[in-house]
Amino acid sequence: MARPLIPLPTPQQSGALTPELLGQFIRAKRTQSGLRIDDAAALLGVAKDTLSKLERGHSGVQLSTLLQVLNGLGIGLKVEPWTEGGDDDWV
pLDDT tens, 33-85?
A: 999 999 999 999 999 999 999 999 999 999 999 999 999 999 999 888 998 87
Higher pLDDT, 89 or 10: 10
Domain-located, residue 2: no
Asked if residue 23 lies in contact with residue 69, where contact means CB atoms within 8 angstroms, the answer is: no
**CATH code assigned at 59:** 1.10.260.40
Residue 37 lies in a domain: yes
Q: What value does the CA radius of gyration of the chain take, rounded to a whole number of Å? A: 15
Q: Report yes or no on 86 lying in a domain.
A: no
Scored b (16 or more CB within 10 A) or e, 11-28 reads: eeeeeeeeeebbbbbbbb
The answer to whether position 82 is within a domain reads: no
Domain count, the chain: 1
Residue 51 is part of which domain span? 19-73
User: 44 in a domain, yes or no?
Assistant: yes
